[in-house]
Amino acid sequence: IFFFFSARAVHEYLSGAPYSDYQNSMYFDRFLQWKMLERQPITKDTFRQYRVLGKGGFGEVCACQVRATGKMYACKKLEKKRIKKRKGESMALNEKQILEKVNSRFVVSLAYAYETKDALCLVLTIMNGGDLKFHIYNMGTPGFDKDRVQFYAAQICCGLEHLHRESIVYRDLKPENILLDDNGHIRISDLGLAIKVPEGELIRGRVGTVGYMAPEVINNEKYAMSPDWWGLGCLVYEMTAGRSPFRARKERVKREEVERRVQEEEEEYNDKFTEDAKAICRMLLTKDPKQRLGCNADGAAGGKAHSFFKNINFKRMEAGIVDPPFVPDPRAVYCKDVLDIEQFSTVKGVNLDQTDNDFYSKFATGCVPIPWQNEMIETECFRDLNVFGPQGTRPPDLDWNQPPEPPRRSLLDRIFRRHVSKIKRATKRATRHTPACSHVERVNPTARTWGHSLR
């Protein structure tokens, strides 16, 4: 209560004379400059496009780079006709809006959203270290040692906590959706099935991936955040055992049989599991969501307090200063060869109209402020551009009494203008020595147009 009243008093004071002084200062003018830059239109020309990294539900995912800053991202393309054919408009917009809301170092960030003639594009955090499925099954003996399992499980727990804090249930936790960055930290990706749960309510929806869906989801019962804690249990089990809890690796079994096992059978534990690992898996894979770890009033705090995480300092983890137990080799490629990624077939018989354009306008909103601001800081653009005059005086670009400086001409501009000048000089000489002016008329219009277009 004391903090609440103190915060309100500070807010009331700052909103008075200090805020008025700020609005009249050069710092507010500089703030407006940055906001104008942040809100500039975003198009495909904002980026350079590189190799295909994989496939999403509606199109390819490729690497891209912001031309102005050099920052690398992953561009997830959602083909417009494919979205319309599958009636995926609400799903695509939902993912985009949820990504905008979440600002977590454990969940991929959305930096830009724009459209091209054929696709809607989400520009996301690039994760070059591959996904957990690749690391579990393609890097030697399936599974990880206990230190890696603890580290990844702790970071996933933090990511779920941040999503749940925004009342978002993820609903698709599986190894393919957990990605590693260059330094070995993980992020939750692909929020296509995530949904915001209205406050004080429960939702129903039989969505997810076979083998990872919680019993309450399979039974089409109402739930809130409980499916995510079940998914964490499946992940801890699979990272440890090198197989999922209810289906062996490459086992050919029908969906109905897997769902029966989830509902009726208990998972088995081998000697790879420590007592703490067994205990947390059993508590997370409890069939009754009311008894499941993480589903009580304490939420994620209950999971973090489990003895399985006794060696994890969660405050340092949240700050990003815990060293990962595994760092990807920057020379290795932790994904399929580009030739192994199946190509999408052409969508036929689908026509786009004005109602589609209304949907696209809601999707293509440009920059997302916090990731864009972080990009400016990380690439040192902010340091290079945020310059004031000597001894903190107002710089020329913020002095409204001075005319703006003319834009600097590029090297190409100077070269072409020099070439145009030579043509003009040659033309004058030709005029003096040639009675007829037909040659001059052929040369001069080109020279004038060239010079004008470059200016």
Indicate the DSSP class of residue 336: -
User: What is the dihedral sign for C-alpha 100, 105, 107, 112?
Assistant: positive
Nearest CA-CA partner of 197 in 175, 219, 228, 174: 228
Euclidean distance between CA atoms 75 and 63, whole angstroms: 6
Euclidean distance between CA atoms 32 and 397, whole angstroms: 12
In the chain, % helix, strand, coil (3-state, to 5) comes to: 45, 10, 40
Nearest CA-CA partner of 283 in 145, 146, 157: 157
53-58 own/partner pairs: CB under 8 Å, 24+ apart:
53/335, 54/335, 54/336, 54/341, 55/341, 55/342, 55/344, 56/190, 57/88, 57/192, 58/82, 58/83, 58/86, 58/88, 58/92
Name the active-site residue from 118, 147, 172, 276.
172
Euclidean distance between CA atoms 246 and 252, whole angstroms: 12
Question: Active-site residue 288, yes or no?
Answer: no
Contact assessment for residue 182 and residue 330, using Cβ atoms and an 8 Å cutoff:
yes
Euclidean distance between CA atoms 90 and 230, whole angstroms: 26
Contacts of residue 25, defined as CB under 8 A and 6 or more positions apart, other chains included, come to: none
Which residue shows structure tokens 């939420």? 299
The kind and range of the H/E element at 354 are: helix 354-363
Residue 250 is assigned to a ligand binding site: no
Please enumerate, by residue number, every residue annotated as part of a binding site for ATP.
85
User: Catalytic residue numbers?
Assistant: 172
